[in-house]
Structure 1
């Protein structure tokens, strides 16, 4: 919680708005990087790569194992594919 306030300031309220329990944070990628934070960074901060999140924005790349970093990257690749498919579907509907 302190890390969120330190990194995101008043935006941490938006990050944690609907989280009422640890389970609401989603899966943990390692250390204290949860899916909720990753989704927030992708949606609100336009983070698009694992390196951007792990090294530039959170510095948690220093604390995650190679396996945890790979799992995080795989999750982001999945988000990207879903997002690309949604954009394509929206384009098809509009044309």
Structure 2
């Protein structure tokens, strides 16, 4: 059974995703209206709509993640894993340079 706190966090992520998607649709509509009026602000509104859509997609993605992944994101273990992976890749590249590019 899921922890009630995790259920609340997941529900909040879904709500955020829906709100951001709604804001993105509104911003895209405003950009279309400004574009029809030949306004210079249309490009800015389109950029805002894209940003909101990406944020909404990210929130929806996070809401759909497994609890183990959400826990790892919260406690920082994913950041440590990524840091270790980057360091390992740097070491491999350094060894390739030392070995003559093979």
| Range into which the TM-score falls when normalised by the shorter chain | 0.3 to 0.5
More strand by share: 1
More helix by share: 2
